[in-house]
Chain A
Amino acid sequence: MPNFNMIQALNDAHKVMMARDEDIVVFGEDVGYFGGVFRVTEGLQKQFGKTRVFDAPISEGGIVAMAVGMACYGLKPVVEIQFADYIYPGYDQIVSEVAKIRYRTAAEWTMPLVIRTPYGGGIFGGQTHSQSPESLFTHIAGLKVAIPSTPYDAKGLLIAAIEDPDPVIFFEPKRIYNGPFDGHHDRPVKPWSKHPASEVPEGHYTVPIGKAAVVREGGDLTVLAYGTMVHVALAAVEEQGLDAEVIDLRTLVPLDLDTIEESVKKTGRCLVVHEAPRTSGFGGELVALVQERCFYHLEAPVERVTGWDTPYPHAYEWAYFPGPKRMKRALEKVMAD
């Protein structure tokens, strides 16, 4: 079994699926000859030809609209938006069209397409290369939202997204493309090869959409996280010496509420973690669901660790990023009583 980083795993998912299904087409800015600025689509054009893998004009609205038209024709577009921060020109096509076409046509037309996009901070990308806009999509009926946190999940989830009959917004945590990140920016980067989830099976397999993973079992508290923050959370609970249960949500819509509910009822405490800004972030939804389902099992208020409600500030990257200090403080608060 090869050891892959997340980029190689995503690349492999494309190759496996494009070989199986001739209706899959891949396009986006710089994805063709060059293979994408993060190299996720490297070699695809050479292997599958220019009419199935090609460069698109710098027009996110156009890229999404083309995907809509192609899906109506009968193709399965898997498109890349180069950075999640660039997705907004395509937002009308995603919200008004991609998300609603099945509903408004009573399933006469459907949108089996995938929009992949790297998101999140920790790479000194400033405010236009660091955002986490997932809640702008979880709020839209008709979209599914998936976010892997390991190479194994990245390949399996992307294959599941491509096979899904509905549109999936597939956010890729770019900080951990090349290695897991514990939140300590001043420590050397660890490569994926030392992580067990970098063992990626060859060929076809899926990680189901809508199923969370308990990545650490424990009894002290439940930590809900996704993307890069799964690794930051795992490191933080170890550092605090807590026997935490850490759940990687993997899919935000549809959410695996059963796994969350079972865990919080067991631990009685819950911490919700994401990079995105706090106000109207997906964490607010998680907190609401936990209190609706688990209120009488809770021994402390549910806490949130998030980015600040500011644009992503370049020089203040590590004062903004919800790292070990913010985690420690929140863990202490949740565990206080």
Chain B
Amino acid sequence: MQITDVKYPLLGQLPRAGLGTKRLAGEDMSDKDPSLRRNAPKLELHVPEPAFRPGDTPDFSSLTIPAEGSAPRPDTAAPAAETHPLTTALVRVLGDDNKAVGPWDPKLDPDTLRKMLRDMVTVRIFDDRMYRAQRQGKTSFYMKCTGEEAIAVAAAAALDREDMHFPTYRQQGLLIARGYPLTEMMNQIYSNRGDKLRGRQLPIMYSDREHGFFSISGNLATQFPQAVGWAMGAAIKGDSRICMGWVGDGATAEGDFHSAMTFAAVYNVPVILAVVNNQWAISSFSGIAGAERATFAQRAVGYGVAGLRVDGNDALAVYAAVKWAAERARSNGGPTLIEFFTYRAEGHSTSDDPSGYRPTNEAKAWPLGDPIERLKAHLLATGEWDEDRHAAMTAECDAAVRAAQKESEKVGILPDQGKDDIGSMFEDVYADVPWHLAEQRKQALDEGGA
């Protein structure tokens, strides 16, 4: 058979016998046989596009934001299905008048609220200082969580100190809220001699067992099912500690998300699975991960587990939702999937420039506001805070971050690292150093570095 008039020029180069020819013949028939094409519409591929691109004026007025206090709060022992209407709602406590309202109001004492505010302020200052340190060439990389501070900080406040976290790279608030020393974080960021991870990990990929913070992986979503495994271990051993796994909206597309949900559901695992939906995965908006079709919280429905969708910029709502899921998990009620609806106010990392893919003023237009401003306004509105105290507290946090930075930089910054103790890079591959690594270590030491 002669191959002529083909749609695809490449096919013309195929051998004129064998499979290529047969397939092409079949294709020709289905294309040309009118009975197979009767009234058939031309198939179209839908490639999602965000609402706004650079140069557009962001306008989120079409975004449905349920009123604060409007979401019902099921009993923590309720069947999972009772939570499913909440997967398309939005648990919100703080309203425009800055008062806490509705059944999800956790009724926290002012000291707890002030501690949360202080932690959030510290996170933001820390982020700003470390971002600047990267720009000054003191380290290779940094990632801020600006606009998302309430989520990790309030989750840390809602869980017990002994509970475990399997975080992503934007939950630095967990460490700060649990009192992990800022200098330790900075030593890791600078990969200096004080870095307990011995200069092996990209900045911000902290790890600290004592603070219940599992080592961050750059391979996204891997920690999500691991959190389920940890909680299975706790259940196998009859422990009372629970675990919280974290993932971003973009990485919910990974198979690991499905593994986590499946195992969590199958074994009714005491785990809280959190999706931080900050709308952006580097340059891809949440629609590329499926958000045009369903909320991330709605994925709980298909697995038959509890699901909540929560205003992530409302520290009280975050606290209340995590507390609810924790109570449920601790009483063998099973896992909860929580979507924290928020907005990544800055770039993905120091290596990213969001002005290339979204309007520069989009963060300001985000209708759920700034989490720090909202919690501060709530404390002001309830008479538990004032501007002077806020200024003084901010100055204290700033001083603490600066002091830690000074101390850490005295130990060293990245450009000075990687020269001493070259042999250490061969340790901890295994418990012992096997012969082949010992040989390579000897050679590396002979070379003496770059």
Residue of B nearest to A144 (CB): B430
Contacts of A75 in B (CB 8 A): 233, 236-237
Chain A stretch 87-133: residues in CB contact (< 8 A) with chain B: 89, 92-93, 96-97, 101-110
- B200 adjacent to A106 (CB under 8 Å): yes
Tell yes or no: B32 within 8 A of A by CB: no
Interface residues of B in 208-257 (CB under 8 A from A): 208-209, 214-215, 217, 219, 222, 225-237, 243, 255-256
Question: Assuming the A-B contacts A66-B225, A105-B207, are A57 and B233 also in contact, with contact meaning beta carbons closer than 8 angstroms in the complex?
Answer: no
Docked-complex contact B225 and A65, CB < 8 angstroms: yes
Take A61-B225, A75-B233, A108-B208 as given contacts and tell me if A101 and B215 are in contact as well, using a CB distance cutoff of 8 Å. yes
Bitwise, A236-258 to B at CB < 8 A (1) or not (0) is 00000000000000000111010
By a CB distance below 8 angstroms, the chain A residues around B420 are none
Interface size class of B (residues with CB under 8 A): 35 or more
A219 within 8 A of B: no
Would you give the shortest CB distance from A232 to chain B, in whole angstroms?
28
B244 to chain A, nearest CB (A): 12
Question: Do the beta carbons of A106 and B430 come within 8 Å of each other?
Answer: no
Contact A166 B431 (CB under 8 A): yes
A69 and B207 contact, Cβ closer than 8 Å, known pairs A104-B201, A255-B436, A257-B435: no
Interface-forming stretch among B108-116, B260-268, B408-416?
Answer: B260-268
Say yes or no for B394: interface residue by CB 8 A criterion: no
Please state if B214 and A72 are interface contacts (CB–CB under 8 Å). yes
Chain B 183-209 interface mask (CB, 8 Å, partner A; 1/0): 000000000000011101100010111
Is the CB–CB distance between B428 and A66 below 8 Å?
no
- Known contacts A65-B228, A68-B226, A92-B222: A73-B234 contact under CB 8 Å: yes
Query: In this assembly, does B367 line the interface, its C-beta being within 8 Å of a C-beta of chain A?
Result: no
Q: How far is B431's CA from A253's CA once the two chains are assembled, in angstroms?
A: 14
A210 at the interface (CB under 8 A from B): yes
User: Within 8 Å of chain A (Cβ to Cβ): is B70?
Assistant: no
B contact residues around A214 at 8 Å (CB):
none
B233 in contact with A104 (CB, 8 Å): no
Cβ contacts under 8 Å, B36 to chain A? none
B434: Cβ under 8 A from any A Cβ: yes
Query: B429 interface residue, CB < 8 Å from A?
Result: yes
What residue in chain A is nearest B214 (Cβ atoms)?
A: A72
A266 adjacent to chain B (CB < 8 Å)? no
A31 beta carbon closer than 8 Å to chain B: no
Q: Is the CB of B230 within 8 A of A52?
A: no
Give the Cβ gap from B440 to chain A, nearest Cβ, in Å.
10
Output the least CB separation between A311 and chain B (Å). Answer: 16
Q: Is B76 an interface residue (CB 8 A)?
A: no
B259 neighbours in A (Cβ, 8 Å): 59, 61-62, 65
Contact between B232 and A97 (Cβ–Cβ < 8 Å)?
Answer: no
By beta carbon, the residue of chain B nearest A68 is B226
- For B226, give the chain A residue with the smallest CB separation: A69
A25-74 at interface with B (beta carbon < 8 Å): 25, 51-52, 56-57, 59, 61-62, 65-74
Which of A74, A105, A109, A210 contacts B233, CB < 8 Å? A74
Measured CA separation A144–B434 after assembly (Å): 11
**Interface set, chain B 424-444, CB cutoff 8 A to A:** 428-431, 434-436
B441 → A minimal CB distance (Å): 13
Q: Which residues in A have their C-beta under 8 angstroms from that of B214?
A: 72, 109
Complex interface residues of chain B between 241 and 295 (CB less than 8 A to chain A): 243, 255-256, 258-260, 262-263, 266
Q: Of A57, A66, A253, which one neighbours B232 at CB under 8 angstroms? A: A66
Whether the pair B219, A69 counts as a contact (CB closer than 8 A) is no
Distance A235 CA – B214 CA, assembled complex (angstroms): 51
Taking CB atoms, residues of chain A closer than 8 Å to B229 are: 65-73
Q: How far apart are the CA atoms of A72 and B234 in the complex, in Å?
A: 11
Q: Are B226 and A65 in contact (CB under 8 A)?
A: yes
If A59-B262, A106-B196, A254-B435 touch, whether A72 touches B207 (CB-CB below 8 Å) is no
Q: Does A141 interact with chain B (Cβ within 8 Å)? A: yes
In the docked arrangement, what's the CA distance between A96 and B223, Å? Answer: 11
**B430 near A102: Cβ-Cβ < 8 Å:** yes
C-alpha spacing A37/B237, complex, angstroms: 28
Is the Cβ of A96 less than 8 Å from the Cβ of B225? no
Q: Does A165 contact B (CB under 8 A)?
A: yes
The minimal Cβ–Cβ distance linking B300 to chain A, given in whole angstroms, is 17
Q: For the complex, what is the distance from the CA of A221 to the CA of B196, rounded to whole Å?
A: 50
Interface centre among A25, A57, A105, A107 (most CB of B within 10 A): A105
Is A142 interfacial (CB 8 A cutoff)? Answer: yes
Q: Which of B201, B209, B232, B435 contacts A109 (CB 8 A)?
A: B209
- CB < 8 Å: which of A56, A72, A74, A89 contacts B255? A89
Bound: A129/B365 CA distance, A: 56
Given A69-B227, A72-B230; A52-B236 close (CB under 8 Å): yes
| A25, A104, A109 interface centre (most CB from chain B within 10 Å) | A104
Q: Which residues of A are in contact with B by a Cβ distance under 8 Å?
A: 25, 51-52, 56-57, 59, 61-62, 65-75, 89, 92-93, 96-97, 101-110, 141-142, 144, 165-166, 210, 253-255, 257
Instruction: Give 3 nearest A-B pairs by CB, closest first.
Output: A69-B229, A73-B233, A62-B259
B binding-site residues for A, Cβ under 8 Å: 164, 166, 196-198, 200-201, 205, 207-209, 214-215, 217, 219, 222, 225-237, 243, 255-256, 258-260, 262-263, 266, 428-431, 434-436
11 A-B pairs with CB atoms under 8 Å apart are: A61-B255, A66-B229, A70-B229, A92-B222, A104-B215, A106-B197, A106-B198, A108-B207, A254-B430, A255-B436, A257-B435
